Amino acid sequence: MSAILQDIRIRLLWRIEVFSNLQSFWFRSTFLSPAAVFEPGERTGKFRVGSKQLLLNEQGESYISAEDYAIALLGEVENPQHLHQQMTIVQYVK
């Protein structure tokens, strides 16, 4: 194989490898849906995680404070449990 073809082959293989790595990075996603009522409030650390269904707490409310939403979001970033899925959260008590 000529030096030019060898160089082209190496560059092409390198680009394919880079694209594959980027592709796997880009598609590592989770869609986090807040509760029906999403507003600043108290950080309780007490919330429930679900999937695509709207969640209600014991009082029949769908509420999450921005502070607990942030905790849930960072928890998912640090320890992914819902890759390629939708998740929703609701605070236990308002």
| Beta-bridge partners for 72 | none
Kindly tell me the number of DSSP H helices and DSSP E strands found in the chain. Answer: 2, 5
**Is the pLDDT at 22 greater than 70, yes or no?**
no
Average pLDDT of the chain to the nearest whole number = 82
The reply to whether 80 falls in a domain is yes
Q: How confident is the model at residue 25 (pLDDT cuts 50, 70, 90)?
A: low
Give the structural domain span for 54. Answer: 29-91
For the segment 36-80, what is each residue's pLDDT rounded down to a tens digit? 898 999 999 999 998 888 889 889 999 999 999 999 989 988 888
- Distance from C-alpha of 49 to C-alpha of 35, rounded to nearest angstrom: 10
- Pick from 42, 78, 82: which is nearest to 63 by CA? 42
Category of 85 on φ-ψ map: left (φ > 0), alpha (ψ -120 to 50) or beta: beta
**Is the pLDDT at 29 greater than 80, yes or no?**
no
Q: How many domains does the chain have?
A: 1
The reply to whether 83 falls in a domain is yes
